[in-house]
Structure 1
Amino acid sequence: MNLPEGFVPDTVYLLETEGEYVGIFNLRHRLTEGLIHGAGHIGYGISPKCRGKGYAAKGLEMLLEIVRKIVPEEEIYLSVHKDNLTSLNVQKKNGAYIHHENEAEYFTRIPLKR
């Protein structure tokens, strides 16, 4: 794939149930230096009316199965704002640990067991 410098291939996955969109998951197939120190491999969001029902944890779990087939790294990089402990818990439920932090964010890693 011939992308401009600083661009990476990514795939967007929609999570839906009973025909209703619940959330969106964005998988970046590889990382730039900026993504290593920023957003990481995966970003996601759940519709406000669908939050608190386990969709984020299940969606991330499902995405990690795909990740294991595409991403060559031994760990997946994510980040989460410190005021979003619910999302941090979603990541931890899927095997994440806090790798480091700054004033505003936790930077987590999920080891990939193949």
Structure 2
Amino acid sequence: MELVSPSLELESAFLAMYRDFADKDVDNSEYYSECETSFSSYVQRLSDESKGINLREGYVPCSHFWLVDSHGNIIGAIRVRHNIENEFLSLEAGHIGYDIAPSFRGRGYGKQILKLALIEAKALGINRALVTADEDNYASRKVIEANGGELENIVMGKVFPNLLARYWIRCE
């Protein structure tokens, strides 16, 4: 398993991951739907975000990575935001957001992808990362806690009005 930056060479594997989401987790598939229209534009946008180029309103520089197994399957995707200097990020989204493809859930990949992303966060100069999960998403909360997450509080989201568990993790 390794984290890799998005690339055109992984188009078929990424589209397979996207279809897995579209079939089994429609709500979360929306985040990746742009890949169907133009995969090359999608990968370019992710690359630009990592460099802070052409950021959409409310966005901050953000490095994107895909967790790839030895067979070339993309198991999940993770985002490491370089800062959380706006209200939405500092309250709701945090430094790191991740998704494991539905067909690969429950196998420990969430713990692995977050562990690898914390190394990337440290390399970006982030010493403590804010990671959030829906209050009732116990699987994600276990992933965060397994990586040293310390619960700060439970808050009501403003952009997405649901209860969120906010954790801080030391990036070591």
TM-score by length of 1: 0.89
Q: Decide which of 98, 107, 112 is 2:166's aligned counterpart.
A: 107
Aligned CA distance change for structure 1 residues 95 and 5 (closer, same or farther; 3 Å): same
Tell me what 2:104 maps to.
50
- Structure 1 runs (4+) deviating above 2 angstroms are 1-7
Match of 1:70 in 2: 124
CA deviation after TM superposition for structure 1 residue 84, in Å: 0.7
Please report how far the alpha carbon of residue 78 of structure 1 lies from its aligned counterpart in structure 2 after TM superposition.
Answer: 1.1
Does residue 12 of the first structure (1) align with residue 64 of the second (2)?
yes
Tell which deviates more after alignment, 30-39 or 84-93: 30-39
- Give percent identity, aligned residues only: 29
- Contact between 1:13 and 1:26, CA under 8 Å: does it hold in 2? yes
Residue range with higher mean Cα deviation, 4-13 or 20-29: 4-13
Alignment TM-score, normalising by the size of structure 2: 0.60
- From 71, 76, 86, the counterpart of 1:33: 86
User: 5+ unaligned residues in a row in structure 1: which ranges?
Assistant: none
Q: Which has the higher strand share?
A: 1
Question: Structure 1 residue 71: deviation in Å?
Answer: 3.0
| Count of aligned pairs | 112
Alpha-carbon deviations, 1:13-71, whole Å to 9, x = none?
00111111110001101112321111000000001110011111011111111111103
Name the one with the larger helix percent. Answer: 2
1:6 touches 1:32 (CA, 8 Å); kept in 2? no
Partner Cα distance (2:168, 2:73) in 1? 30
Q: Give 1:83 shift.
A: 1.5
Q: Which amino acid is the alignment partner of residue 62 of structure 2?
A: D
